[in-house]
Amino acid sequence: MAVADEFGVLTKAFTGLGVDEKSLISILGKWHPEHKQSFRKTTRDIFVEDERQFERWDDRHVQKLQQEFLRFKDAVVLWTMHPWERDARLLREAVYKGPKYGILVEIACTRSSEELLGARRAYHSLFEHSIEEDIAFHIHSSEKKLLVGLVSAYRYEGPKYGEEVAKSEAKILKNVIKDGAKKLHEEEEIVRILTTRSKLHLKAVFKHYKETSGNYLDEDLGDHLILKQTVQCLCKPETYFTEVLDVSLKGIGHDFAKEALTRVIVTRADVDLKLIKEEYHHLSGFTLSHKIEEIANGNFKDFLLTLIARGDQEN
């Protein structure tokens, strides 16, 4: 199909004039980020150019789509949307319809510095507030400080870090954890280290922690879920995402499970889904595709499988 025709099929699908799901899946399933961007840039009926330099999904259309094709639609919309808008909306939902700490940690910690900044910018456009002000205002639990810190970070992404500092910070973490405070996520030094250090630095801290204590840092934080998730998302996201998939594939039938499955596959398809697949296989003994064949249906299933298959062609 010619590109113009592909754009036509999609526009029809998103403006509610009847959908050729098979074409939708095969088109979207093979599009690279540039094709999606091209579609967003040229389809003026659905996307508007935002002053903060991303193509924003027109509000009326998003509302209309809420009524349309349920899970399939969710997956498709999430996939087509500009990543900044997508993450801003996920953050907003996590604050206002929850709060869901896991998703806040996930987005703040698995995105690159530039991607997180973009999401914060899109949040300004969409909701006329900053994400940090909304989290600080709506979340009253003790996790607030950690969450505000994580979402406000603009981490250094270069190759340099201080080996000696990483060693001493691994020691600090060891001592704080050993002291066994109940609300570890309130401990100042833990929050400081996790919310400000670069990912490379944190990986070094993780390594020194293992070398000096014999344990993995995320395992030692097992009793403090939010900290465990934070460390995993920052240091080994594929482990975090594998666990989310595992839980959701076992909990199928519950809404949270379908949402999580969709979110992980759609947001990681072009990032590290291949790694996640491998780790999932290692953990569960099943392949991800096999599980999805077993559990999902119809167009939703086909779309997810198409996205998963992308990972095999890339890299």
Partner 1 sequence: MSTLIVPPHVPSVAEDSEQLHKAFEGWGTNEHLIISILAHRNAGQRRAIRHAYAETYGKDLLKDLDKELSSDFERLVLLWTLDPPERDAVLTDEATKKWTKSNQVLVEIACTRPSKGLILVREAYHSRFKRSLEEDVAYHTTGDFRKLLLPLVSSYRYEGDEVNLRLAKSEAKILHEKIKGKHYSDDDVIRIVATRSKAQVNATLNEYKNEFGSDIIKDLEHDDDNEFLPILKATFECLVYPENYFEKVLREAINKRGTDEGALTRIVATRAEVDLKIIKDLYHKRNSVPLHRAIVKDTHGDYEKMLVALIGEDDA
Between 103 and 122, CB nearer to partner 1: 122
Between 24 and 202, CB nearer to partner 1: 202
Q: Interface with partner 1 includes 146 (CB under 8 A)?
A: no
SS3 of residue 211 by DSSP: helix
Closest separation in Å from C-beta 155 to partner 1:
6
Task: Output the CA torsion 216→268→81→68 (10° steps).
Answer: -100
Q: Interface with partner 1 includes 118 (CB under 8 A)?
A: no
How far apart are the C-alpha atoms of 121 and 54, rounded to whole Å?
A: 9
Q: Interface with partner 1 includes 154 (CB under 8 A)?
A: yes
Q: Interface with partner 1 includes 117 (CB under 8 A)?
A: yes
Among 20, 157, 219, 312, binds partner 1 (CB under 8 A): 157
The terminus-to-terminus CA distance of the chain in angstroms comes to 26
Q: Which two three-digit tokens encode residue 70?
A: 């349920």
Task: Count other C-beta atoms under 10 Å from residue 1's C-beta.
Answer: 11
Task: Count other C-beta atoms under 10 Å from residue 253's C-beta.
Answer: 7
* Angstrom distances, CA of residue 141 to CA of 135, 145, 179: 11, 9, 22
How far apart are the C-alpha atoms of 13 and 16, rounded to whole Å?
A: 6
CB burial of residue 305 (10 Å; 0-12, 13-18, 19+): middle
Closest separation in Å from C-beta 166 to partner 1:
12
Q: Interface with partner 1 includes 138 (CB under 8 A)?
A: no
Which of 145-153, 174-182, 275-283, 291-299 is the region at the interface with partner 1 (rule: CB under 8 A)?
Answer: 145-153
Between 187 and 259, CB nearer to partner 1: 187
Q: Interface with partner 1 includes 92 (CB under 8 A)?
A: no
* Angstrom distances, CA of residue 14 to CA of 90, 107, 147, 191, 204: 20, 26, 34, 43, 46
Among 155, 167, 171, 174, binds partner 1 (CB under 8 A): 155
Using CB under 8 A as the criterion, what x/- string covers residues 175-194 for binding partner 1? Answer: -----------------x--
Between 18 and 159, CB nearer to partner 1: 159
Which of 17-25, 82-90, 123-131, 231-239 is the region at the interface with partner 1 (rule: CB under 8 A)?
Answer: 123-131
Q: Which residues bind partner 1 (CB under 8 A)?
A: 117, 120-121, 124, 128-130, 132-133, 136-137, 148-149, 152-158, 160, 192, 195-198
